[in-house]
Each structure stands twice: as structure tokens, then as C-alpha cells.
Amino acid sequence: MTSASFAKSYAAARAEIDAIDEMVRALDAAREKAGLTKAQLAAAIDTRPEVIRRLFTTKSPNPTLSTILRVAAAVGCRIELAHDTRVRKPRRRSRAAA
């Protein structure tokens, strides 16, 4: 693997990790704003309290989309998909005249 391809792979993985961390932090802030304890949130989404505790305290959470959606709904939020204008679209290669 070349250092350029490694750097590209690393940047993509780092962006994914950062996005998940940001989402989990936002959900935890929403939980606190809603006045819910972690145990109350767990009960609201019908899961074990340790699942929620790990979600909000582990260094690198990796929740399923289902968990994210259930937590969001329980704290009065919804998840939306938005276009990222920072992402550059791949350029199309022009075809040489035949």
C-alpha cells in the first residue's frame, strides 16, 4: 500500500469515526436536555442499562443505525440525511475523440 493510499484510507476512516462520535455526543446532550437518566433511556427503548451506558461512555462507540434511531426518538429527536457540500464529486474522464 502506498503512503498516499494509506493516507486516503486513514482520512476516510477518521471521518467515519468522527461522525459517529459527533452523533453519539449529540444524542447524549439531547438525553440530558430531556432530563432522562441513562437507565430511564434504556427502559424507554427496551434495552439493558449497560447498553446505553456503554454507548455514551466508551471511547469508540459503534452503534447500529437501529440503536441510533431508537435513542433519537426517545429523546425527542429525529435523524436527517443531508448532502455534504464539502465532498468533492469524482471528475468524469473525458473520452478521447476516436
| Contact (CB, 8 A) for 36 and 44 | yes
Q: Is the pLDDT of residue 11 over 80?
A: yes
Number of domains in the chain: 1
At 26, is the secondary structure helix, strand, or coil? helix
Task: Provide mean pLDDT across the span 11-35.
Answer: 94
Low-confidence winner among 1-10, 38-47, 88-97 (lowest mean pLDDT) = 88-97
Q: Is the pLDDT of residue 41 over 70?
A: yes
Query: Is 62 part of any domain?
Result: yes
Q: Is the pLDDT of residue 58 over 70?
A: yes
Task: Provide mean pLDDT across the span 28-56.
Answer: 97
For residues 7 and 91, the model is more confident at 7
Helices (H), the chain: 3-33, 38-44, 49-57, 65-74
CATH code assigned at 47: 1.10.260.40
| Contact (CB, 8 A) for 30 and 77 | yes
**Separation CA 23–CA 10 (nearest Å):** 20
Domain ranges, residue 60: 18-74
The separation between the first and the last C-alpha atoms of the chain, rounded to the nearest angstrom, is: 35
pLDDT for the residue numbered 26: 97
**Separation CA 36–CA 24 (nearest Å):** 15
Query: Is 4 part of any domain?
Result: no
